[in-house]
Amino acid sequence: MELDEIKNILIIGSGVMGSQIGLLCSIHEYNVTLYDNSQKSQGESKEKLIKYTEELIDSKRISEQQAQEALTRVKYTTNPEEAGFDSDLMSESLPENPKLKCEVFSQFKEICPPHTIFTTNSSTLLPSMLAAATGRVQQFAALHFHPLVWENNLVEIMPHPKTDYGVVSLLKEFAESIEQIPIILEKEYQSYVFNTMLNALNSAALELASNSVASVEDIDRAWMKTTNMKIGPFGVLDKIGLDVISNVTDYWAKVLGKRQLRTNAKFVKRYVDKGRLGCKSGKGFYEYPNPKFEYTNFFSIPKK
């Protein structure tokens, strides 16, 4: 398949990442179907897309006309057959649960046309863990985006050993067509490129906080001040979503059996259980839209 033959994009999962990827594709004139088995999630996705387009208009990235045209190219459905029957490329953004992902891939391999390329936006799972469920192992790879996708416009393409290299080349062209910088991994690697570095930082920050070595705010202060960064690890975790962090950390704690990972997972879950999911809920480690780490006095030295 050539790039100009890709017309219809199927997004599986209408959460934050699915919504962003879908809007990005529609802005670049692809027809997009957002599939989710929850009508509530789809309603929330519609609201997200409107909010995103308003922000993109305000920042002069797109015009009002482009925004309206992009929104009209997105359709929503809870019907799997309606979602997948004419798809050319699928992007899956479900929770980091391999069993769930495999179930959905197995379902859609029977619905999507034989030429459809399947991709996963997973940030922790290797493509080879999911490939067999797709029923098209040569046409499957990871295509991992970073939020906000129109600002952090870098996408990691991770094939598995049986991925056809022509598919990798096509995904590279597709990424460039939606103004993403493609990073091609030469082999499978747990957690990908950026997340391998980010996870090391986040795990260290959670270890310090969960063991009561220092407060969340002081850990962020230490990182932000010495690196001259505008955000610390706990601000980043809030952006990712504490429900996502909780699920991923809990999964790997069970797989690897590491005590510290279990401690980290329990620490994050305390926030999740209180409905503090991060930026998406208005409260996480910080409160939004005006988190403390953005205050001018976040680094103030108390006067004696």
Look up the domain containing 278 and give its range: 195-291
Distance CA 147, CA 200 (A): 19
Distance CA 95, CA 141 (A): 17
The per-residue pLDDT for range 111-163, each reduced to its tens digit, is 999 999 999 999 889 999 999 999 999 999 999 999 889 999 999 999 999 99
The per-residue pLDDT for range 191-240, each reduced to its tens digit, is 889 888 988 999 999 999 999 999 999 999 999 999 999 999 999 999 98
Nearest of 42, 45, 55 to residue 289 by alpha carbon: 55
Detail the DSSP E strand segments found in 171-300.
Answer: 181-184
**Same-domain status, 61 and 154:** yes
Distance of CA 54 to CAs 40, 42, 46, 108, 157, Å? 22, 19, 13, 33, 30
Nearest of 62, 28, 22 to residue 42 by alpha carbon: 22
The per-residue pLDDT for range 5-43, each reduced to its tens digit, is 999 999 999 998 999 999 999 999 999 999 999 889 989
Domain boundary among 152, 184, 216: 184
Domain boundary among 150, 184, 218: 184
Domain boundary among 133, 157, 184: 184
**Same-domain status, 31 and 155:** yes
Q: State the residue for tokens 């034989």.
A: 114
**Same-domain status, 220 and 282:** yes
Q: What is the dihedral of CA 69, 70, 71, 73, to 10 degrees?
A: 90
Distance CA 189, CA 4 (A): 30
What's the pLDDT score for residue 304? Answer: 61
What is the domain count for the chain? 2
Which letter does DSSP use for residue 124 in this model?
S
Q: What is the pTM of this model?
A: 0.83
Cis previous bond, 113, omega within 30 = no
Q: State the residue for tokens 């990827």.
A: 21
Q: Would the pLDDT of 65 be above 80?
A: yes
- CATH code: domain of residue 117: 3.40.50.720
Complete edge-to-edge strand list for the sheet that includes strand 140-144: 74-77, 31-35, 8-12, 89-92, 117-120, 140-144, 154-159, 181-184
Q: Read off the amino acid at residue 197.
A: M
Is 190 part of a structural domain of the chain? no
Distance CA 169, CA 106 (A): 25
